[in-house]
A and B are shown apart, each in its own frame.
Chain A
Amino acid sequence: MRFHFKTSYDTDIDLFPDWGKRGLYLALLALAAGLPFLINDFYLGEATNVLIWAVAGLGLMLLTGQTGQVSLGHSAFMALGCYTCVLLMEAGAPFVVAFVLAGLITGVVGAAIAVPALRLHGVYLAIATLALAILADDLIVLLAPWTGGVNGKYAPAVTILGLQFNRWSNPAAWYWLALVVVVLVTWAYRNILRTPLGRSFAAVRDSEISAQAMGVDVARTKTMAFGLSCAITGLGGALMGLFSEVFNNETFGFLISIQLVMMIVVGGLGFIHGAFLGAIVISFLPQLLSIVTDTLGRGVAIPGLESAVFGGLLILFILFEPMGLYGRWLKIRVWLELFPFARKDMFRRQKSYLKTERLR
């Protein structure tokens, strides 16, 4: 067991509570930065993919895990981020400028859409945002002169200060680019969590009525959460489009939204770690499946198997491990720390008191 002796308020305010934790995450970062020297180009590409999914997932996590609003429409914001970034680059903007602007524009559009959408709750919000995802798909086709429609678009070359980022000739550079974006987004996410902004998100998630009674402007807070979430997911979309080099309306189909939801639920709702664990699952599950079908079915492809497994996994996690993989890990860690004193009933789900929104 570890004990924290808190000697100043900064212990709670800082990113890491002690040097042990700080060292751990620094080591992890060093390992992540050194990965190109440890694995081959194929797996480096997969690792880049994981990081890109993590960015998109962190966006949705902020909205769903932190603020309690569902969205099945985040594929639309990935698309918006991607097309904005590419169109800006084609118009002559340097990559970094186009990328940042794409995030900002996606955030602003997301916030504007949030104003009417967030009057809806729960399943109605889910349906409305799902409609948004399908609408985006159609819009990309309709706007073919700009978006390339179903034929798709080739991503322009990414250069920063004359340095070329090509995933085939220079996979390590692409990986580091994605890593830098992930680190910056994670840092911003952590900052949100430790400031009044993040606490107002949690307040809105847990009890709108008492959030209001504490002076939180619920509508404004939800709008901010939606905008920030869309901005981050938009950045993820931009990276995804640029990394895949060719993309069209199907790259950002509504199934991507479902995968994003699955990712954060399986990873662990409300945890930053959850977005990363979910991204790993999302990226490696298709390969695992193809290995399994190869050995069992000798190469016969089963159509729809991937979606079916994704869906099944989502249902299983909601039923049996709503805290996701990260929640499971937390329990294992407590068990190890207490060994041999852990009790079996310790992790039984707490029966929470009925959440009322009644005022009586």
Chain B
Amino acid sequence: MSLLDIRDVTLKFGGVTAVNALSLSVEEGQVFALVGPNGAGKSTVFNLISRFYTPFGGSIRFDGTDLLALPSHRVPSLGIARTFQNIELFHQATVLQNLLVGRHRHRRAGMVENILFTPRVREEERAHRAAVEEVIDFLDLQPYRDQRIAGLPYGVRKVVELGRALASKPRLLLLDEPASGLSVEETQNMRWWIDDIRRQMGITVLMVEHDMGLVAKVCDRVLALDGGRMIAIGTPAEVQSHPDVIAAYLGTGAISKTADAKGARR
């Protein structure tokens, strides 16, 4: 059975069909990419999984659990974490506090215990800190640990958002354009991290990414979307050379351009 199984899902915004009868399944251990031109519906697929939207039809199952039966804030408790295309951090809080919010699904003590700061709360806090420190080490965030998000550069914020998702120790990680806006070095780092996330941490990754160079290096399966429909699925090479994919990008030239640009810079 697939870890994530999306069947025949459709979502319309007014007259716009953002996702159209889409089916996809992500196997445990895979790094799976969604590609497609802007407005193809990629982020909407993530928002459907996060249960921000309810589809008009179809089903979304995670490890056998029907996600459509759950409210949005229960989704992370199954082990699904995500990042956003336009970084959504808690900008008045420090990096450490942001990462600690990632631990939210692991809290056990209730409101009154928190207010009284019982020994159990202290024990839990220690465990949260230990988990978060691991993430800080993994992503080299030590220099920014106690800084507030509001003062951090864009590239660091992207990493903090990844860290917050990792702090929750997910089984499935959704990354919405993890490398967009990053420099060449930062993109390179992101690549190593995604590799390690899969290999060392055993986390399954579903990502949206325009940089086909990155997709080709880290992903084993790619699905191309256009106008909310699947137009191709296969290995990165197969999808990149698929005539419909090339046609979809025609005029935008996004695939060849980003791939060339990255290739030329390296």
Max count, chain B CB within 10 A of own CB: residue among A196, A211, A217, A358? A196
B126 near A206: Cβ-Cβ < 8 Å: no
A9 near B117: Cβ-Cβ < 8 Å: no
Measured CB to CB, the closest approach of chain B to A318, in angstroms, equals: 17
Bound-complex Cα distance A183 to B176 (A): 46
User: A7 contacts the other chain (Cβ, under 8 Å)?
Assistant: no
Knowing A9-B125, A206-B90, A360-B85 touch, does A212 contact B72 (C-beta < 8 A)? yes
User: A158 contacts the other chain (Cβ, under 8 Å)?
Assistant: no
B88 near A203: Cβ-Cβ < 8 Å: no
Q: Which residue of B100, B109, B116 is within 8 Å of A199 (Cβ)?
A: B100
Knowing A212-B72, A214-B105, A214-B168 touch, does A206 contact B91 (C-beta < 8 A)? yes
Knowing A9-B125, A215-B73 touch, does A356 contact B88 (C-beta < 8 A)? yes
B87 near A191: Cβ-Cβ < 8 Å: no
B88 near A205: Cβ-Cβ < 8 Å: no
B114 near A192: Cβ-Cβ < 8 Å: yes
B91 near A215: Cβ-Cβ < 8 Å: no
Q: Which residue of B90, B130, B150 is within 8 Å of A207 (Cβ)?
A: B90
User: A150 contacts the other chain (Cβ, under 8 Å)?
Assistant: no
Residue-wise, chain A 204-226 has the 8 Å CB interface mask toward B (1 for contact) of 01110111111111100000100
User: B50 contacts the other chain (Cβ, under 8 Å)?
Assistant: yes
Knowing A13-B126, A214-B105 touch, does A353 contact B87 (C-beta < 8 A)? yes
A205 near B101: Cβ-Cβ < 8 Å: no
Contacts of B126 in A (CB 8 A): 9-10, 13
Contacts of A197 in B (CB 8 A): 111, 114-115
A202 near B150: Cβ-Cβ < 8 Å: no
B73 near A202: Cβ-Cβ < 8 Å: no
Q: Which residue of B90, B104, B133 is within 8 Å of A215 (Cβ)?
A: B104
User: A12 contacts the other chain (Cβ, under 8 Å)?
Assistant: yes
Bound-complex Cα distance A25 to B85 (A): 44
B69-121 interface with A by 8 A CB criterion: 71-77, 81-82, 84-93, 96-97, 100-105, 107, 109, 111, 114-117, 121
B150 near A350: Cβ-Cβ < 8 Å: yes
User: B122 contacts the other chain (Cβ, under 8 Å)?
Assistant: yes
Measured CB to CB, the closest approach of chain A to B165, in angstroms, equals: 8
B101 near A359: Cβ-Cβ < 8 Å: no
Contacts of A12 in B (CB 8 A): 96, 129
Q: How many chain B residues touch the partner (CB < 8 A)?
A: 53
Knowing A196-B107, A356-B86 touch, does A214 contact B101 (C-beta < 8 A)? yes
A224 near B111: Cβ-Cβ < 8 Å: yes
Contacts of A188 in B (CB 8 A): 115-116
B97 near A202: Cβ-Cβ < 8 Å: yes
B93 near A195: Cβ-Cβ < 8 Å: no
Which partner residue on chain B sits nearest A355 by CB separation? B91
B73 near A218: Cβ-Cβ < 8 Å: yes
Which partner residue on chain B sits nearest A359 by CB separation? B47
Q: Which residue of B93, B124, B168 is within 8 Å of A202 (Cβ)?
A: B93
Q: Which residue of A202, A209, A210, A356 is within 8 Å of B92 (Cβ)?
A: A202
B101 near A211: Cβ-Cβ < 8 Å: yes
A214 near B96: Cβ-Cβ < 8 Å: no
A195 near B151: Cβ-Cβ < 8 Å: no
Q: Which residue of A196, A202, A210, A217 is within 8 Å of B84 (Cβ)?
A: A210
A216 near B117: Cβ-Cβ < 8 Å: no
- Name B residues whose Cβ lies closer than 8 Å to a Cβ of A: 43-44, 47, 50, 52, 71-77, 81-82, 84-93, 96-97, 100-105, 107, 109, 111, 114-117, 121-122, 124-126, 128-130, 133, 150-151, 154, 164, 168
* Pairs across A and B, CB under 8 Å, 18 listed: A9-B126, A10-B126, A195-B121, A196-B114, A199-B100, A199-B101, A202-B97, A203-B93, A206-B89, A214-B104, A214-B168, A215-B104, A224-B111, A270-B92, A350-B150, A352-B150, A358-B86, A359-B84
Q: Assuming A206-B90, A216-B73, what are 20 further A-B pairs, CB within 8 angstroms?
A: A188-B116, A191-B114, A192-B114, A192-B115, A195-B109, A195-B117, A195-B121, A196-B104, A197-B115, A199-B97, A200-B104, A202-B97, A207-B88, A207-B89, A207-B90, A209-B52, A213-B50, A217-B71, A270-B92, A350-B150
- Name A residues whose Cβ lies closer than 8 Å to a Cβ of B: 9-10, 12-13, 188, 191-192, 194-200, 202-203, 205-207, 209-218, 224, 228, 270, 350, 352-353, 355-356, 358-360
